[in-house]
A and B are shown apart, each in its own frame.
Chain A
Amino acid sequence: MSTFTKAVAHMRSSKTVMISGGTLLAIAIVALIGPWISPNDYMTTDFDRLFQSPTFSSMNLFGTDDLGRDLFVRTMLGVQVTLVVAVVASVVSLVIGVLYGATAGYIGGRVDTVMMRFVDTLYATPFIFFVILLLVVFEQNFLLIFVAIGAINWLDMARIVRGQTLSLREREFVDAARLIGVSTPRIILRHIAPNLIGVVIVYVTLTIPQAILIESFLSFLGLGIQEPQTSLGNLVSGGALQIEGASWMLLIPAALLAIILLSFNFLGDGMRDVFDARQSR
């Protein structure tokens, strides 16, 4: 995996990548440790302390919500959940997208045409409508949200991977593997997939923000995660109702959401620049 090590070395030289990556890492660490340190938990209600603004007393650093629950812990939990949803959804789309795209690109010919026509078909369906229908039909649960979001995002991934595979297929090392009788699935998994890693990583960091936004959209429609669990999207859509009375309920989670989205976007851009620079040399 020397290509990968080299890539990492390159990334460390990019300021954008370092700053955005560092921010994300810091947020993730605080989100993991914060609830553990805080004296409060995410589900205990306190009917005498509804809508408290942020305060150090009793450590309600981000204030309390409409049920007197501590918003610091809830926001940290929301960050955790949002990151997990986004990463897992992106991994789902990555696995489906890479395998599908690589298979279509490697086998080529008629199979490629049929597989890509299927992708075109899915492109034509108003996907968000199907996701809403899916979530209505099956009671919304955590897993389904991942699947729904992953199902939207794998299409782009498949197209990009296919394109890359078409050119990889013609390379010598693939020819060599074929000549010594390596089976097709093995070539795709062992020889094609690893060489797609650069494109795929860049693309995944760009898919994650989309997944986060879709999750928050579903939360707005009330189709998100079940209470008392929460996500950033959930907190933001709940806070949007309190813009005037308890602005911290909106501002803090919205700011965190924005920072996370920005960081992922910049991270993706930065990594693309790194890979582009490497390729053009």
Chain B
Amino acid sequence: MLRYTLRRLLGAVPTLLLVIVLAFLLVHAAPGGPFDDQRVLPAEIEANIAAAYHLDEPLYQQFLRYLGGVVRGDFGPSYSYRDHTVSELIGRSFPVSLRLGVLAMLLASTIGILAGIVAALRQNSPLDKVVMGLAMTGISIPVFVIAPVLVLFFAVKLQWLPASWTGSQGSSRLLLPVVSLALPQIAYVARLTRASLIDVLSSDFIRTARAQGLGTAAIIRYHALKPAMLPVLSYMGPAVAAILTGSVVVEQIFGIPGVGQLFVRGSLNRDYTLVLGVVIFYASLIVALNLIVDLLYGAIDPRIRRR
């Protein structure tokens, strides 16, 4: 297990390097520089700024300088937040995004798994159709529609909940963003749970268990649920990606100081270091999460651990 983990970690190094190169070339290929503005700067001021941020060096030299920094854990100064470093910005905003993401995942998986189990047990009944229909509606409405509608009703009309992150210091400010993020995921989790549970329930070993006189609840609890969770677990990787995407929208609408907002500001302002920092950070995160999912998979299903 340890060797496997180590090997995977080592394998991640070229992956990350490739990501850095790609992202570096892309941001530098984008037209416009980080300090362009309608108020075009006189040439000598532009030169002073370029020199201050080493933007006057050849590209390969900038890359090596950047890479050297990354290896030492220094992601450089931000260009669009001139008083802050990139590490500091990500360090401040990631906990916020994390809290949001984890809560959204929890909400989505709890409701999704429960809905999936209910639907699978009453397969093809009206209940199944209603539950799955509701879940599917969740996927079919984009986040950027759900979020403003929720705000309009719960914050503006009813005034039950804050309309934004800074509207309250309490946890109530989390509710609307988390729900907006989780809604589309509920459907995916429910569908996966339902499908794989139906699959498992029709397999031979469950039939044997049934023949031995075990009740439905016991069968689900002791035999069916674990194997049925495997596909759901492997969905967690894509779900994290989806929540990252969603959070770009949700953070903008609710004014949440998270990583998604940083990225949008960074890429719009050609803040090279900020964009690269976020990309590298998330790439490492996804690599780590995939590893964890694989390890969990192995823990639940020993057959996977063959490699």
Contacts and interface: CB of A to CB of B under 8 A. Distances in A.
Whether chain A touches chain B in the assembled complex (some CB pair under 8 Å): yes
Interface of A: 117, 120-121, 123-130, 132-134, 136-137, 209, 213, 216-217, 220-221, 233, 236-237, 240, 243-244, 250, 254, 257-259, 261-262, 265-266, 269
Interface string B125-146: 0000000000011011111110
Q: Which of B27, B29, B144 has the most CB of A within 10 A?
A: B144
Contact of B136 (A120, A217, A244, A262): A262
A275 to B, nearest CB: 13
B267 A250 contact: no
Contacts of B283: 124-126
Contact of A124 (B15, B245, B275): B15
A121 B275 CA distance: 19
A149 to B, nearest CB: 13
Contacts of B18: 121
A137 B278 CA distance: 18
A134 B26 contact: yes
Interface residues of B, number: 44
B22 A125 contact: yes
B276 to A, nearest CB: 10
7 contacts: A124-B12, A124-B15, A124-B16, A128-B244, A129-B275, A137-B26, A265-B140
B145 A130 contact: no
B136 A137 contact: no
A258 B141 contact: yes
B139 A261 contact: yes
B57 to A, nearest CB: 21
Contacts of A243: 148-149, 152
Contact of B144 (A121, A240, A258): A240
B142 A130 contact: no
Given A125-B279, A133-B27, 17 more contacts: A120-B15, A120-B290, A123-B237, A124-B286, A125-B19, A125-B22, A125-B286, A136-B267, A137-B30, A209-B140, A217-B142, A217-B143, A220-B142, A243-B149, A250-B145, A258-B140, A258-B141
Interface in B193-231: none
A128 B245 contact: yes
Contacts of B264: 221
Nearest to B268: A136
Given A125-B283, A128-B248, A240 B267 contact: no
Interface string B25-43: 0110111000000000000
Nearest to A206: B191
B267 A217 contact: no
A137 B29 contact: yes
Nearest to A268: B191
A217 B245 CA distance: 9
Contacts of A121: 14-15, 18-19
Interface in B74-129: none
A123 B152 contact: no
B53 interface: no
B254 interface: no
A130 B148 contact: no
B4 interface: no
A128 B241 contact: yes
Given A125-B22, A136-B267, A209 B278 contact: no
Contacts of A269: 191
Contact of B287 (A124, A233, A237): A124
Contacts of A117: 11
Given A129-B278, A266-B136, A254 B15 contact: no
B263 interface: yes
Interface string B272-302: 0001001100110011001000000000000
B124 to A, nearest CB: 10
Contacts of A220: 142, 144, 249
B172 to A, nearest CB: 23
Contacts of A237: 142, 144
B182 to A, nearest CB: 16
